[in-house]
Amino acid sequence: MLLLALGDPGMEPARPALVIRIRIPDGGGAVDWTVHPAPQLLFRDVLDVISQVLPDATTTAFEYEDEDGDRITVRSDEEMKAMLSYYYTTVMEQQGNGQLIVPLQIYPRACKPPGKRNIHGLKVNTRAGSANNSSVAITDSLPSHSLKKSSAELKKILANGQMNEQDIRYRDILGHGNGGTVYKANHVPSGKILAVKVIPLDITLELQKQIMSELEILYKCDSSYIIGFYGAFFVENRISLCTEFMDGGSLDVYRKIPEHVLGRIAVAVVKGLTYLWSLKILHRDVKPSNMLVNTRGQVKLCDFGVSTQLVNSIAKTYVGTNAYMAPERISGEQYGIHSDVWSLGISFMELALGRFPYPQIQKNQGSLMPLQLLQCIVDEESPVLPVGEFSEPFVHFITQCMRKQPKERPAPEELMGHLFIVQYNDGNAEVVSMWVCRTLEERRLQQQGSQ
């Protein structure tokens, strides 16, 4: 096999050369690429090589698998560093156990599949800091050395009709809300850690079937800003929704969030909402408790209203009005994307202030409350962030999202183009990761001190 080597061939690398295995979409084999010195490898270098391996595709990012088999997207040098750090930790464990060192496998995210491929030894020349007079070879039938099931394989296992309560081992209660209880649980056949939301619903068998049918679209959602969905099942009068577990939990349990962290969280939330809107799905329940984070710095949306019947059944069973609803929704008027935008604005205002923006609304137990208590949202002027405490772009972003007239709120493309979002759209997950890890550690130490 011909391998692509980076750097001066006459120099001895300080550590073993890094072998990156570029997986070609649609079962097209793989490319093994040898890189040294690996610490100098940049995100752009990888994209340059991928573009030569897949000349007919436009690739702007790639993925790798973490220890749980989940796909992690790489879009920047910072995320490259995180990937390499994770991989070298894995290599050290493999060496310590006397195991074969597995190449770092990456999966290009191409906008369209590649055209014709030379599977008998394609050679590509690289320039501008990547490599000189080197080549890569595509192998058509490399054995798979992956130690973990891929996210796609796991999803197939979990969603092929075998998902049932007998295979679930419930562990801890993660929280309550929106009519249900969320558990941390194990899926015994796969060993996967899940979040399982159990909602009691007294509905007919026909409605149960309709809900399950409407939930089918969740299998098709493919965004790094949307929580992974593994399956659902009914047992008697309870529906259980099985999703990806996020070890940082939901944002409603965090205190006031610094703006530089909140900005990067906002980017992820806006991207997640934009993705849903592109599928003609309204979230309908945007609020901090439906924004999840993990210690890798990922931010994902959950509990969006893909099933109209499920939303309606919960609304009939659990009486109350959502405090994050837009004024027009509280008044019973038409609901649309602009209503999600209001909920986005009031949620991030709360996360910035560390309290609900309307002082007269005591939101102590969840977000559901009698309609009359929310009348102030309809009648009064929208609250505004204090300019002295927050940057002008952030204040403007919140103000625009919370316009009383729905049509005056930003459209999806205007949200993504807003200065506040553009400013923090740098792919720096490390900022969120460090904040989550630090906050969780502080919480753990406080719990120890109170015991």
- Using 50, 70 and 90 to split pLDDT, how confident is the model at 57? confident
196 and 105, same structural domain? no
pLDDT at residue 110 in the model: 66
Tell me which range, 123-127, 132-136, 187-191, is most confidently predicted by mean pLDDT: 187-191
Kindly indicate the confidence band of residue 419, based on its pLDDT and cuts at 50, 70 and 90: very high
What average pLDDT score do residues 100-118 get? 66
**Above 60 in pLDDT, residue 160?**
no
Is 394 in the same domain as 262?
A: yes
Q: Which of 32, 285, 303, 340 is labelled catalytic?
A: 285
Question: Which residues, other chains included, contact 105 with Cβ-Cβ below 8 Å and sequence gap of 6+?
Answer: 20, 21, 23, 30, 64, 65, 146
Task: Give the whole-number percent of the chain exceeding pLDDT 70.
Answer: 78
In a domain, 236, yes or no: yes
Residues within the annotated binding site for ATP? Answer: 197
pLDDT score, position 13: 37
Whether 28 is in a domain gets the answer: yes
Tell me how many domains the chain contains: 3
Degrees, nearest 5: CA angle 279-284-288: 110
pLDDT in tens, 263-316: 999 999 999 999 999 988 888 889 999 999 999 999 999 988 766 667 677 666
Residue span of the structural domain in which 47 resides: 18-111
Cβ neighbors of 170 (< 8 A, separation 6 or more) are 183, 184, 185, 196
pLDDT tens digit sequence for 72-107: 888 888 888 889 888 888 888 877 777 778 889 999
Does residue 130 register a pLDDT over 60? no
Looking at the fold, whether 255 and 330 belong to one and the same domain comes out as: yes
The enclosing domain of 330 has a CATH number of 1.10.510.10
> Residues 232, 381: one domain?
no
Asked if residue 390 has pLDDT above 70, the reply is yes
- End-of-domain residue from the set 244, 265, 286: 244
State the pLDDT confidence band at 451, using cuts at 50, 70 and 90: low
Q: Considering 222, 244, 266, which residue would you say is the last residue of a domain?
A: 244
CA distance 195 to 246: 8
Q: Give the pLDDT band (50/70/90) at residue 429.
A: very high
Is the predicted pLDDT of residue 135 greater than 70, yes or no?
A: no
Please tell me whether residues 208 and 273 are part of one structural domain. no
Is 9 part of any domain? Answer: no
**432 in the same domain as 331:** yes
Do 235 and 307 have their domain in common? no
Element (H, E) at 422: helix 419-424
Q: Do residues 270 and 289 both lie within one domain? A: yes
Distance, CA of 405 to CA of 401 (rounded, Å): 10
Average pLDDT, the chain: 79
pLDDT at 38 over 80: no
pLDDT (0 to 100) of residue 424: 97
Amino acid (1-letter code) at residue 16: P
134, part of any domain: no
Q: Does one domain contain both 239 and 258?
A: no
Determine contact, residues 175/291, Cβ cutoff 8 Å: no
For residue 340, pLDDT beyond 50: yes
Examine the pLDDT at 68 and tell me if it is beyond 70: yes
Q: Is residue 155 part of a domain?
A: no
Confidence (pTM): 0.64
Q: Give the lowest-confidence range in 137-146, 186-195, 329-338.
A: 137-146
From 228, 244, 260, give the residue that closes a domain: 244
Residues 405, 387 contacting (CB under 8 angstroms): no
**What would the pLDDT profile of 197-236 be if each residue is shown by its tens digit?**
998 887 788 888 878 777 877 877 888 999 988 888 888 8
Task: Say if residue 171's pLDDT is above 80.
Answer: yes
Whether the pLDDT of residue 401 is over 90: the answer is: yes
Is pLDDT above 80 for 118? Answer: no
Q: 127 lies in a domain?
A: no
CA pair distance 105, 26, nearest whole angstrom: 15
In the numeric block, the tokens 């209001």 are attached to 342
**Binning pLDDT at 50, 70 and 90, where does residue 326 land?**
very high
* CATH number assigned to the domain comprising residue 237: 3.30.200.20
Please tell me which residue, 341 or 367, carries the higher pLDDT value: 341
* pLDDT of 158 higher than 70: no
Does any domain span residue 353?
Answer: yes
Task: Specify the CATH number for the domain of residue 101.
Answer: 3.10.20.90
Per-residue burial over 213-244, b if 16 or more Cβ lie within 10 Å, else e, is ebbeebeebebbbbbbbbbbbbeeeebbbbbb
Mean pLDDT of 158-174: 77
Q: Is 285 a catalytic residue?
A: yes
Asked if residue 407 and residue 357 are part of one domain, the reply reads: yes
Quick check: is 137 in a domain? Answer: no
Q: Are residues 231 and 280 in the same domain?
A: no
Same structural domain, 205 and 274: no
